[in-house]
Structure 1
């Protein structure tokens, strides 16, 4: 099996403007053109390329000059390629299409069409736009563009039509290899996805990824308004440990491992939509968003819809040092038991702010794993709501807080499902809950930890059970100025301080 790193061996970006955009807000950034009078503009048809798709253009491309500043222009038409075009170590190169479609030859058994730079010989100042790659023939698909540049990468308006069903590399790989380099990928569309390798003649492990940002990426890369999925591996996979990737907008659907998989310090997702609403036979764990590692990962103003859930909405993995989920909406419809937001046990600090979770399935809306000690890296949940008809058939509680030192400030929970559906269970020591409303079918709040503080909370069972249960062995618990309908069930020997509470009967 081979992996997808893919390494076996003229519009120029205004870097100042783009760096300003990435370093500050995520507002749109502009690009400026340098003069191209000193570069050569080559119309490939004028140079002998066949625009009817009958004759391969690969020999024509190989014979053309590739001096720095060269532009290959593809007029409207269909172009057949039966070999890889490779260009490395350049400083200034463009591929520009005008309603141009490129078709891989049926008998071409290679894995690339355009390899522009490598991690050992990266290019610089690369611009690609306006090309469509046609995978509609049976057993067709390969890496159509692999671009590895030190700096100044701009890719716009590329598309793949037809399902990738060859079992070769996924269609795109983009890396900025220098730590100070920058690039942008805009309006790249590959909605038809790819087939699992076991159903193809190829040998890629599992199957192809749609857009890969590999371990060789060390700079900063925007991914803007792309349409991705469904892919058998990942839709967008950013596997860098040292680089930064910023996803801005776009639609990501139904990839098997993850639709957006992100890592790297300060990598983030903004204004995106992620949907899981269809499963193929091999789609066994379709996570929407997975944060793999790095500090200050941020998911903001993003909508996640699990309409046919068989994986989690947002997973925060162990190597993440600090993550923030902010102003997001997550909807999980009825289906297989799952979790909306899951924090792994060794992940660092996590903030969940101003977000809405509609959870209509068995499982947890929030599952916070981690050390149970009161000095654990905290999870802060602020101004967040959990609603829906989730039931208790696979985990009674909508929120399971195994981590200590968590803060739930103005968390509101309403879960109306049956099977003893509850609101929150506190298992980590030193947690605080304040100013939240908890309304669930069964007991809304269950405490099984020490040094828990409740202040200004309201808890009501829709079936008339007690509003709170404190389990045997809980000590140092404080409950103040709260409204607990039908009182509190102290289940065993507990140590609780009460002050200024109200216990209305139903």
Structure 2
């Protein structure tokens, strides 16, 4: 075991060494994104059964739903309600809500095409509420998507999905808020994608027409093979950043064993905070395996804050627990814990950017632990002015490096500890400024 403490070798500002108490880097002030309130008023309140809905699930209720599309709150008592395919254009002040203490269930009717991608569709929606409903997809050949687009405001709350998706390329929920000032709140959504190895499923999807704010709060999503929350299109991608760039915030929630990403963000200032991500088995992956926890792809200034990410030794291989794509500019990860026990997988990986503007990664109060071996805990490629401040890395697996900086000069490592079996700090064409950096070479079982 070897230990070293590195003082300041000034590359950013030679005057800083004259005052040892002067910080190398000042923490950013990041705006707080508050949960929006969606609480429309309805002129009419109807009991759905009294209005003609069959609570036994034998007769579809489509006509009832399409007959009431404005200024109406439909309240559903306990029961099972069959729906074929419902498309509502220009809903205004429309709500479907569970009665107090009730758990009403919507189920695809026998006549519904298997796996309808737009089972429920609301276009040009304004003041729309779906509250306290359950979707039941347990009958073989049944699953369905809900599509919501329009100026806002939208509330999807306490929606629970029973069963799994068995249709390829199925999205659970698509939301696009097309007005810059509009909002959508998706709160306490609970769903599982699929355990079938050949089925590709996506959870909530936010499309490129999204211009307002979508806020996901305390959702529980698992076993989605093509992203649990897929919200990178709002900023555009593949170098074509021509989408509406609406804000997306993920606050809280549990995401377990999803493929491609549990949370995928790609618009300016998009945020994931207070979320827990667990990968302890290989998820379904019909189109390739890459079990990233949080993936940033598109635009810049995203924030990952106060998240907990855990990878077990049997997790499938992936680019990183937090992966920053080449389409992405500067991003910040702070107050976040990553447990990485999966060998040959970086905890944080930032790929070489192909965008203009600031591209450095800011890591503040990030704690990486675990028994992973091989590769590096943190790898940053071609991102100058990267910052590690008050971070801790301890990885005990064989041949595990700590921090690898490639072509990322003018970077800062301050008040950080790195303890690994490989090289604590590897720099390739990446001169860095360090202060109070403590490195330890742990023993290996070689």
Asked if Structure 1 and Structure 2 have the same fold, meaning a TM-score greater than 0.5 normalized by the shorter chain, the answer is: yes
- Tell me if 1:389 matches 2:396: yes
Shift of 1:91: 2.6
Match of 1:125, SS state, is strand
* SS of 2:424 mapped into structure 1: strand
**C-alpha separation in 1, matches of 2:428 and 2:270:** 31
2:171 partner SS: coil
- Give the superposition deviation at 1:59: 3.4
* Aligned partners of 1:141 and 1:167 also within 8 Å: no
1:196 and 1:232 in contact (8 A); partners too: no
**Greater Rg over alpha carbons, structure:** 1
Alignment correspondent of 1:289: 294
Return the alpha-carbon distance in structure 2 between the equivalents of residues 155 and 105 of structure 1: 22
Residue 366 of structure 1 is matched in structure 2 by 378
Match of 1:255, SS state, is: coil
Give 1:61 shift: 2.7
How do 1:431-470 and structure 2 match up within 5 A? 431-441=432-442
Q: Deviations over 1:36-73 (max 9, x none)?
A: 3xx222322112211011222223333x232x312222
Cα shift at 1:27: 4.7
Cross-structure match for 1:324: 332
Q: Deviations over 1:188-235 (max 9, x none)?
A: 111x22255835xxxxxxx12011111111111111000111111110
Q: Does 1:217 align with 2:222?
A: no
Between the aligned partners of 2:409 and 2:31, the Cα distance in structure 1 is 33
Aligned counterparts of 2:178 and 2:35: Cα–Cα separation in 1: 23
After superposition, give the CA deviation of every residue in 1:244-279 in whole Å (9 maximum; x if it has no partner).
Answer: 101110111111111111110110011011111111
Q: Which aligned pairs between 1:240-259 and structure 2 lie closer than 5 A?
A: 240-241=234-235, 242-259=245-262
Given the superposition, is the C-alpha separation of residues 127 and 32 from structure 1 closer, same or farther in structure 2, using an over 3 Å criterion?
closer
Q: 1:301 aligns with which of 306, 312, 315?
A: 306
Measure, in 2, the Cα distance between the counterparts of 1:168 and 1:29.
Answer: 31
1:43 aligns to 2:47 (yes or no): yes
Task: State TM-score, norm by structure 1.
Answer: 0.73
The answer to whether the 8 Å contact 1:367/1:400 transfers is yes
Change (3 A) 1:55 1:30: closer
- Gaps spanning 5+ residues in structure 1: where? 1-22, 200-206, 371-375, 442-461, 464-506
The 5-angstrom pairing of residues 220-231 of structure 1 reads 220-231=213-224
Residues 411-450 of structure 1 aligned to structure 2 (within 5 Å)? 411-415=416-420, 417=421, 421-441=422-442
Residue 410 of structure 1 corresponds to 415
The 2-side partners of 1:173 and 1:65 are apart by 22
Equivalenced residue count is 389
Instruction: Report how far residue 315 of structure 1 moved.
Output: 0.4
Q: In the alignment, which of 355, 359, 365 is matched to residue 354 of structure 1?
A: 365
Measured against aligned partners, the alpha-carbon deviations of 1:479-502 in whole angstroms (never above 9, x if no partner) come to xxxxxxxxxxxxxxxxxxxxxxxx
Asked if residue 268 in structure 1 is aligned to residue 271 in structure 2, the reply is yes
Secondary structure of the residue aligned to 1:294 is coil
Instruction: Specify the alignment match of 1:72 in structure 2.
Output: 74
CA distance in 2, matches of 1:217, 1:341: 28
Counterpart Cα distance in 2 of 1:166 and 1:32: 34
Q: In structure 1, the residue corresponding to 2:297 is in which secondary structure?
A: strand
Instruction: Determine if contact 1:71/1:94 at 8 Å carries over to the other structure.
Output: yes
Where do 5+ consecutive residues of structure 2 fail to align?
1-29, 236-244
Q: Is the 8 A contact 2:301 2:331 kept in 1?
A: yes
Which stretch has the larger CA shift, 107-116 or 228-237? 107-116
Q: String of CA shifts for 1:429-468, please: whole Å, max 9, x gaps.
A: 3312221111113xxxxxxxxxxxxxxxxxxxx58xxxxx
Structure-2 separation of matches of 1:388 and 1:165: 39
- Paired with 2:228 and 2:263, the residues of 1 have a C-alpha distance of 6
The 2-side partners of 1:399 and 1:107 are apart by: 57
Task: Name the residue aligned to 1:180.
Answer: 181
Please give the root-mean-square deviation of Cα atoms over the aligned residues, in Å.
2.0
- Larger mean CA deviation between 207-216 and 68-77 belongs to 68-77
- Of 227, 233, 236 in structure 1, the residue corresponding to residue 226 of structure 2 is 233
Structure 1 match to 2:402: 398
For residues 197 and 437 of structure 1, what CA distance do their matches in structure 2 show?
Answer: 45
SS at structure 2 position matched to 1:361: coil
Structure 1 distance, partners of 2:252, 2:83, is: 32
Instruction: Determine which structure has greater relative contact order: mean sequence separation of CA pairs < 8 Å that are 6+ residues apart, divided by chain length.
Output: 2
What's the counterpart of residue 167 of structure 1? 168
2:282 to 279, 282, 294: 279
Distance 1:24 1:150 in 2: 24
CA distance in 2 between partners of 1:353 and 1:184 (Å): 29
Superposition deviation, residue 125 in structure 1: 1.2
